[in-house]
């Protein structure tokens, strides 16, 4: 093998190593920017049974979906205390969902049965 060919292989290896280093540092910067670490939205299930919301409290983040399923004989709602969100009427055996928003009201109740109360723990991500 001639010296010129050896130099080409060494130069090609150097260029490949340099390119790999640059790509790795760009990926690392992307990963530390919070983009790669983002957690996908979660789905939460709440049963309405015995005139109670089960579970009565749980942690949610913006983008999560909450689905209430009515297992009682009578209709219910899940309505924010400040009325900023509402599932509407949920009849026996039916379900209704909302998508959590930033800074949404956490306390909720049933419009038909105001003694039925529950709450969310809204994770602001801070």
| 25 and 54 assigned to the same domain | no
DSSP-derived secondary structure letter, 41? P
Residues 14 and 64 in one domain: no
Task: Give residue-wise pLDDT tens across range 62-74.
Answer: 999 999 999 999 9
Contacts of 31 (CB under 8 A, 6+ apart): 37
Residues 53 and 101 in one domain: yes
Q: Quote the CA–CA distance of 78 and 83 in Å, as a whole number.
A: 10
pTM surpassing 0.75? no
Tell me the DSSP string of 62-85.
Answer: TT-EEEEEE-SSS-B--EETTSS-
Dihedrals φ, ψ of 67, to 5°? -120, 125
Percentage of residues in the chain with pLDDT exceeding 90?
65
Residues 79, 32 share a domain: no
């Amino acid at each position: 093998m001639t010296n010129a060919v050896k130099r080409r292989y060494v130069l090609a290896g150097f260029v490949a190593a340099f390119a790999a280093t640059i790509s790795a540092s760009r990926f690392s910067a992307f990963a530390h920017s919070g983009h790669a670490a983002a957690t996908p939205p979660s789905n939460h299930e709440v049963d309405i049974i015995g005139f109670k919301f089960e579970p009565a409290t749980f942690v949610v983040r913006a983008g999560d979906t909450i689905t209430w399923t009515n297992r009682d004989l009578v209709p219910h709602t899940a309505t924010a205390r400040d009325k900023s969100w509402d599932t509407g009427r949920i009849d026996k055996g039916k379900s209704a969902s909302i998508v959590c928003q930033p800074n949404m009201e956490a306390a909720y109740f049933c419009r038909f049965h105001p003694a039925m109360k529950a709450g969310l723990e809204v994770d602001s991500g801070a």
